[in-house]
Structure 1
Amino acid sequence: MTPLLLLHAGVADSRMWRQQAEALSATHQVITPDLRGYGEAPLVPKYSDAGDVLALLEELGLDQVAAVGASYGGYVLQQAASLQPDRFTRLVLLCAPTDNVEPDEVLRALWAEENAFLEAGDVEAATQLTVDRWLGPEASPEAQELLRTMQRRAFELQLPAGDVDNEEYPVVPENLTMPVRVITGAHDFQFFADSATYLMDRLPNAERKDLPWAGHLPTLERPSEALQLIL
């Protein structure tokens, strides 16, 4: 079966893929790791998310994979593929940021609001803020509860860890010569649309899909439709 790597968003963990992974497992070897500080992966003082992904593929003996990255997972995927482009046959980037694009003021204000809640010790308010602001209007109550569970778990792992050193690698879009699908949501923050525009100007072999119904996490908002976009 074709290996398929799914990297989760920075407000979620590998459980965000559970509906897609179940459907894909009939035809693919589905790999859904937790990045450090999420799900079942505790933080360590020094690490590299992109380096961890490449080490995982090496450990599994996978010379080539197709890969999907949501949000921060898409950024990690860009780093890994820039380092080892021959290892990736296709990429799908779902509402992903990239290098050399500045966050918009609305997103900066959201981060400031979250930090204020966390500094006040109100983890529940910070968690609810994630649910309210990162999901689009079509998200079901079940999707909202799943995101709440995943974000709460991330805070449980990350807040006690303090400062950590996550080594990042440059994203070089021109190195990503494999087919790339760039997906954005109309209800998402402008930063992610700007990142998509930046990538589309530089990726050698890319297509863009703009989803009028989607927020930042389309795989949670319309799981079946998002599955078809991945396929």
Structure 2
Amino acid sequence: MTISYDVSGDGPAVLLLHSGVTDRRMWDGQVQPLVDAGYRVVRPDLRGFGDTPLPPHTFDNADDVAGLLDFLNIRQVTLVGSSYGGEVALEVAARWPGLVDGLVLLGSALPGHAPSFELQLVGEREEALVEAGDLQGAAQLMVDTFLGPDADAAAGQAVLRMQMRAYELQTAAGGGRAKNPFELAAIKAPTLVVSGAHDLDDFRQIATHVASQIADAYHVELPWAGHLPSLERPSATADLLIGFLRRPR
């Protein structure tokens, strides 16, 4: 495979897709509880994150995920996606509806969403810091923006490390990401859409919209969460995922 990943446990497959400010380590608090609950857990690093560098050519995240599942001989999977990873999960579920038997979205991004002034400002500040060579300042901005009030110091340090690694990879020369149009209505999998009450309004609005467009979807807002609940309350997020996986069929 051309992307890095790890696999833990046995049983029905669950694939965890990280956010755009982290890598697969963001799920460290959920892997063992999922394995103990009887699931086979797959965690890739998407291109430009963690242990997966950018290629010199255009790449397609959804193709990478589908290719990894085929490589692992996984024919049915529950996808869990955080933010950027949620966008990838949505595309996979829309393009290969027979492959995905469940979908969980945590603060998911969505192609075509027009960013609010607040989100645009965060992006502009990050870009300016990166261009000035202040990667530490840019990474701290991501911590301050995307971690909710329940996150502890260890979570902040984890995001700093993961974001700094992403900057290291993404400031090197590499190809761009393919953007394929897809329809939310094409998604057939039962879907849990999760938003955080302390997240930016953009992601709360996306959650409401996505839940309204997928036939078998419901939306839950976590009153304690920011943008990255898996790092803010790891055990509570693990319980949320296991509860969805064990739902009555």
Q: TM-score range by the shorter chain?
A: over 0.9
Q: Distance in 2 between matches of 1:203 and 1:97?
A: 15
| Alignment correspondent of 1:48 | 60
Pairwise CA RMSD of aligned residues?
1.0
- Of 136, 142, 165 in structure 2, the residue corresponding to residue 130 of structure 1 is 142
Q: Does 1:218 align with 2:219?
A: no
**Higher mean displacement: 2-11 or 192-201:** 192-201
- Of 34, 38, 52 in structure 2, the residue corresponding to residue 24 of structure 1 is 34
Query: How big is each residue's C-alpha offset from its partner over 1:68-126, in whole Å with a ceiling of 9 and x where there is no partner?
Result: 00000000011111110110000000000113421111010000000010111111110
**Higher mean displacement: 4-13 or 195-204:** 195-204
| Alignment correspondent of 2:13 | 3
| Alignment correspondent of 2:166 | 154
| Alignment correspondent of 1:74 | 86
| Alignment correspondent of 2:247 | none
Structure 2 gaps of 5+ residues are 1-10, 243-249
- Of 178, 182, 186 in structure 1, the residue corresponding to residue 197 of structure 2 is 186
Structure 1 gaps of 5+ residues are none
| Alignment correspondent of 1:99 | 111
Q: Distance in 1 between matches of 2:76 and 2:180?
A: 20
Q: Could you state the TM-score of these two structures normalised by the residue count of structure 2?
A: 0.90
Query: How big is each residue's C-alpha offset from its partner over 1:189-216, in whole Å with a ceiling of 9 and x where there is no partner?
Result: 1111111121122110001110111110
| Alignment correspondent of 1:209 | 220
Q: Is the 8 A contact 2:93 2:189 kept in 1?
A: no
Residue type matched to 1:90 in 2? G
Residue type matched to 1:203 in 2? I
- Of 95, 98, 101 in structure 2, the residue corresponding to residue 83 of structure 1 is 95
Q: Is the 8 A contact 1:50 1:169 kept in 2?
A: no
How far is the alpha carbon of 1:161 from its aligned partner? 2.2
Q: Distance in 1 between matches of 2:233 and 2:80?
A: 16
Residue type matched to 2:231 in 1? L
How far is the alpha carbon of 1:159 from its aligned partner? 0.7
Q: How many residues align structurally?
A: 230
Query: How big is each residue's C-alpha offset from its partner over 1:11-43, in whole Å with a ceiling of 9 and x where there is no partner?
Result: 000000011012112211100000000000000
Q: Is the 8 A contact 2:17 2:82 kept in 1?
A: yes
Q: Distance in 1 between matches of 2:50 and 2:231?
A: 17
Query: Any idea what SS the aligned residue of 2:221 has?
Result: strand
Q: Could you state the TM-score of these two structures normalised by the residue count of structure 1?
A: 0.97
